[in-house]
């Protein structure tokens, strides 16, 4: 909780819920007749609606990207380090839109929303959502907000996949696509980690085939394990080593199996906290969306062919110690953009924090992001 709001904060923000009545058809073939999207906006839309920036969230993210919901909130939004007055995504110049994606569990329609057809929560009956589906719903959101063309669509990790997909699905509705710590497709190892997480959830006795709400319970243990294994892939060996090393909670070994090392208790704590605030069916859905993402698939694996319709300029950033989506994956994307004769800038940022580095403001990351977004702002007269 801040005593007073930092001057570079967007301040107190209030989410809004937008209701959509027109049916949306999803990649899986199913249709959602109506749905809600929860959003937050920061800054002011200019007269010609040219200064809008869309923020796409990652696996466990949501609409609350910057500022505080109240003076009692312990921490600001998840990307507060990059969004605010004078920050890389400068809210004095841009109108920033951040949403909770379809299938999420922070207010937008998802597995724990009530299915109007049954009067009960969707649970496991909620359709599997793809990155393309999200982009489609975000385009409908843009229509609603009167935004014909985004100055930039920006995202890290799974959010970066949405920024990339935007450039393929709506090439004329964005000027810049900023793809950070992302990948054009998951590797077998990435999918394997997701599968362990899903197995942890579905094998929890409280999961009840996804109908845990009917039993007034939550597969807390499974979610905790899923988060623990996920969390390991977000950090680097070096950053874990520096944070915990082999440090013990007490001075000596106890010759038992309780959490004796600091790293064990940290992971348990993170897992437990996560299991109290996240929905298990949403976790399954998000990891599946990650697995399925592969824009090159329809083009025989040739990403540069998939990129052909794209019309925007790209900024691609990777982090040196990210072993979840390595710099090599970003370079694969950049090389396809070069082959497709698209405009792209790329940098690999030296940072010790693994995949999580995209959330942590290091000087070079901040400098590059600021310089690039400053130029985007100048381009749209913001």
User: 17 or 92: whose CB is closer to another protein?
Assistant: 92
Q: Which is nearer to another protein, 24 or 338 (CB)?
A: 338
- CB-based contact 87:8 (threshold 8 Å): yes
Q: Which two tokens stand for residue 306?
A: 């998939």
Q: How far is CA 82 from CA 54, 78, 163, in A?
A: 13, 9, 17
Q: Are 175 and 150 in contact (CB under 8 A)?
A: yes
- 62 counts as catalytic: no
**Is there a catalytic annotation at residue 330?**
no
Interface with another protein (CB under 8 A): 313, 315, 331, 334-335, 338-339, 341, 343-348, 364, 367-368, 371-372, 374-375, 379
Local structure of 346: helix, strand or coil: strand
Locate 129 and state its tokens.
Answer: 């959502």
Output the smallest distance, CB 53 to another protein, in A.
16
Q: Where are the alpha helices (DSSP H) in the chain?
A: 131-145, 158-169, 188-202, 220-234, 237-243, 262-277, 280-292, 303-306, 327-339, 363-379
Residues 6 or more apart in contact with residue 91 via CB below 8 angstroms: 10, 42, 43, 66, 83, 84, 85
Backbone torsions φ then ψ of 40, nearest 5 degrees = -125, 150
**d(C-alpha 181, C-alpha 355), whole Å:** 7
Given the complex with another protein, which of 63 and 185 has the nearer CB atom? 185
What is the rounded radius of gyration, in angstroms, for the C-alpha atoms of the chain?
Answer: 21
| Residue number, 144 or 341, with CB nearest to another protein | 341
Name every residue whose Cβ is closer than 8 Å to that of residue 10 and which is 6 or more positions away in sequence: 42, 43, 66, 67, 80, 83, 84, 85, 91
Residue whose CB is less far from another protein, 75 or 364: 364
| Count of other CB atoms within 10 angstroms of residue 16 | 13
For the bound state, the minimum distance from the C-beta of residue 344 to another protein, rounded and expressed in Å, comes to 6
Residue 51 Cβ vs another protein, minimum distance, rounded to whole Å: 17
Active-site residue among 204, 279, 322, 356? Answer: 322
Which of 57, 63, 106, 355 is catalytic? The answer is: 355
CA distance 377 to 361: 20
**355 included as an active-site residue:** yes
Look-up of token digits 């007073």 = 4
**Distance in Å, CB of 112 to another protein, minimum:** 41
Among 113, 157, 275, 330, the active-site one is 157
CB nearer to another protein: give 126 or 314: 314
Catalytically active residues are: 157, 322, 355
């Amino acid at each position: 909780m801040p005593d007073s709001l930092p001057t570079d904060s967007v301040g107190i923000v209030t989410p809004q819920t937008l209701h959509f009545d027109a049916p949306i058809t999803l990649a899986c073939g199913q249709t959602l007749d109506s749905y809600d999207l929860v959003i937050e906006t920061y800054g002011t839309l200019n007269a010609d609606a040219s200064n809008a920036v869309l923020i796409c969230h990652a696996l466990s993210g949501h609409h609350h990207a910057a500022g505080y919901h109240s003076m009692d909130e312990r921490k600001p939004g998840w990307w507060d380090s990059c969004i605010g007055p004078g920050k890389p995504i400068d809210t004095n110049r841009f109108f920033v839109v951040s949403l909770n994606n379809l299938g999420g569990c922070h207010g937008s329609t998802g597995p724990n929303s009530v299915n109007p057809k049954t009067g009960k929560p969707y649970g496991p009956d909620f359709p599997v959502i793809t990155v393309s589906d999200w982009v489609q719903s975000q385009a409908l959101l843009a229509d609603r907000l009167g935004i014909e063309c985004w100055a930039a669509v920006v995202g890290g990790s799974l959010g970066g996949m949405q920024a990339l997909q935007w450039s393929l699905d709506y090439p004329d509705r964005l000027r810049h696509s900023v793809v950070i710590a992302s990948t054009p497709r998951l590797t077998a190892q990435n999918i394997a980690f997701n599968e362990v997480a899903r197995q942890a959830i579905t094998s929890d006795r409280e999961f009840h085939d996804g109908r845990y709400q009917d039993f007034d319970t939550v597969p807390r243990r499974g979610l905790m394990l899923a988060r623990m294994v996920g969390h390991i892939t977000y950090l680097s060996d070096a950053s874990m080593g520096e944070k915990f090393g082999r440090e013990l909670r007490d001075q000596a070994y106890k010759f038992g199996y309780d959490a004796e090392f600091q790293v064990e208790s940290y992971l348990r704590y993170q897992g437990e906290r996560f299991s109290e605030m996240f929905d298990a069916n949403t976790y399954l859905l998000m990891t599946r969306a990650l697995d399925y993402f592969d824009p090159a698939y329809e083009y025989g694996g040739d990403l540069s062919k998939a990129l052909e319709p794209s019309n925007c300029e790209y900024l691609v950033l990777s982090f040196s110690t990210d072993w979840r989506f390595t710099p090599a994956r970003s370079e694969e994307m950049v090389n396809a953009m070069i082959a497709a004769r698209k405009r792209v800038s790329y940098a690999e940022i030296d940072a010790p924090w693994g995949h999580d580095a995209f959330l942590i403001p290091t000087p070079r990351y901040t400098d590059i992001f600021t310089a690039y977004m400053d130029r985007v702002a100048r381009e749209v007269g913001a």
